[in-house]
Amino acid sequence: MLLETEGLTKRFGGITAVDGVDFALEAGELCSIIGPNGAGKTTFFNLLTGVLEPSDGRIRFDPPADDGARAEAGPTAAGGAASAAANGTGSAVDITAASPDETALAGIHRSYQITNLFPTLSVLENVRVAAQASRGNDSWKLWRNVTEFEDHYAEATAILERIGLAAEAETVTENLSHGEKRSLEIGVALAGDPDLLLLDEPTAGVSSEGVDEVVALIEDVAADHSVMLIEHNMEVVMDISDRIAVLHRGELIADGPPEDVRGDEAVQEAYLGGYGREGSAGDGSAVGGDADGDADGDAGADRDGDAAADGGRRASVGGDTR
């Protein structure tokens, strides 16, 4: 297993945003996380990347050992998690208490629901500075000009070509269109050469024509990365996911292949609201709330104050639950 969580729980005061989630991801999978706003999806990502510290439970991460292309985690790479990953032992490391920079060096990178880039830097520099981070000691070389590090620029240029922004390399990031910023979000996450890529609503606010481009990019990236995807657009989710996990009020209520999840009663009730049941909702509209307008919907989970009271309802779907 690439990633495993065990009874992962996050409480904000009396509110349980993520409630005892047991989840596992195989290397190479594309797993979508769906659920209504406030279900705890982004909180789940924040726990995995170390932005928030879990109240309870464990996270184990086991990156592939033979990832020789990465020259990361020099002596300055912080924490046991990162150095163990770089040693290539292949043994799982516990990243429960790791900080965001440690999880990033271990190989987990993410994109954000709300565009979160370096606004006044050029597009190329956004990706380059992210690529520099995974090259250990380079960032501490005070006395060498940054242009001497040609491999940083080569990698950044390659990534810009992959995400289709090569022509905008010198553009100041804040002048990009919204759709281009969404692509660059993924590009910056890619620059760290992730073993696991967490994409938080990559299509948020993208026009319907733009969605196809972003989806094509996700599929391209998923071909050589393990991906976890938070997405409200059900057509996209059903189309590209190997597996779907459904969060509701902080709990994992379903976890399995798309067709199984679609037919699951509990999921239908909690989230899908009839999607795909009689072929009635095949219009690809986002369900479970406004995908783009409600930016902070997941973070607080404050509208689900009775999450804990609703405990115990969990459906196992298909043969994929452990």
Partner 1 sequence: MIVGFLLYPLVYEALLATPAAPFAEAFLPAITFMVVVLYMGLFAMSFDFVSGYTGYLSFGHAAFFGTGAYFVVLAANGQVPGVPGGTPFMITLLLGATLAGLLALVIGSVSFRLTGVYFAMITLGFAQVIYELIRSWGYVSTNPTEGATVSGDALAIGVPYVDALSLDVGRLTGESVENLLGLGIDLSATVVSYYALGVVVVGCYFAMQRIIHSPFGRVMIAIRENEERARAVGYPTYRFKLAAFAISGFFGAIAGGIFAAYSRSVAPDGTFYFLVTADALITTIVGGFGTLAGPIYGTLFNQGLEDVLSTESGGIATLLREGLPPSVLEADLFGVSLELFVNTAVDGRAPLYLGIIFVLFVLFVPNGILGTLRDRLGGTVGKRLPYHLRRYRR
Q: Which is nearer to partner 1, 20 or 300 (CB)?
A: 300
Residue showing tokens 């040609």: 150
DSSP state of 264: -
Q: Which is nearer to partner 1, 3 or 130 (CB)?
A: 130
CB nearer to partner 1: pick between 299 and 307: 299
Binding part of the chain for partner 1, among 90-98, 118-126, 229-237, 310-318 by CB under 8 A, reads 118-126
Binding status of residue 104 toward partner 1 by CB under 8 A: yes
- Interaction of residue 120 with partner 1, rule CB under 8 A: yes
Beta strands 93-94 and 56-61: pairing type?
antiparallel
Question: Both tokens of residue 263?
Answer: 């037919």
76 or 207: whose CB is closer to partner 1? 76
- Pick the closer one to partner 1 by CB: 122 or 321: 122
Site pattern 32..71 for partner 1 (x: CB under 8 A): -----------------x-x--------------------
Going by C-beta distance under 8 Å and a sequence separation of 6 or more, which residues neighbour residue 2? 25, 26, 27, 29, 61, 62, 63, 64, 195, 196, 226
Binding mask 122-161 for partner 1 (x = CB under 8 A): ---x--xxx-xxx---xxxxxxxxx--x--x---------
- Residue 177 vs residues 128, 184, 312: alpha-carbon distances, Å: 20, 10, 45
234 contacts: CB under 8 Å, gap ≥ 6: 34, 272, 275, 276, 281, 284, 285, 286, 287
Q: Which residues pair with 166 in a beta bridge?
A: none
Binding mask 238-277 for partner 1 (x = CB under 8 A): ----------------------------------------
Nearer to partner 1 among residue 101 and residue 320 (C-beta) = 101
Say if residues 4 and 59 touch (Cβ distance below 8 Å).
yes
Type of residue numbered 255: D
Candidates 158-166, 186-194, 256-264, 302-310: pick the segment binding partner 1 (CB under 8 A).
186-194
Interaction of residue 118 with partner 1, rule CB under 8 A: yes
Nearest distance, CB of residue 16 and partner 1, angstroms: 25
Q: Closest approach of Cβ 209 to partner 1, in Å?
A: 27
Q: Which is nearer to partner 1, 120 or 207 (CB)?
A: 120
C-beta of 132: minimal distance to partner 1 in Å?
6
Q: What is the DSSP string of 20-71?
A: EEEEEE-TT-EEEEE--TTSSHHHHHHHHTTSS--SEEEEEE---TT-TT--
**Residue 98 bridge partners (DSSP):** none
Identify which range of 36-44, 85-93, 105-113, 220-228 contacts partner 1 by CB under 8 A. 105-113
Contact 191, 159 (CB under 8 A): yes
Distances (CA, A) of 156 to 20, 102, 107: 39, 22, 17
Residues lying near partner 1 in the complex (CB under 8 A): 49, 51, 76, 78, 99-102, 104-105, 109-110, 112, 116-121, 125, 128-130, 132-134, 138-146, 149, 152, 188-189, 191-192
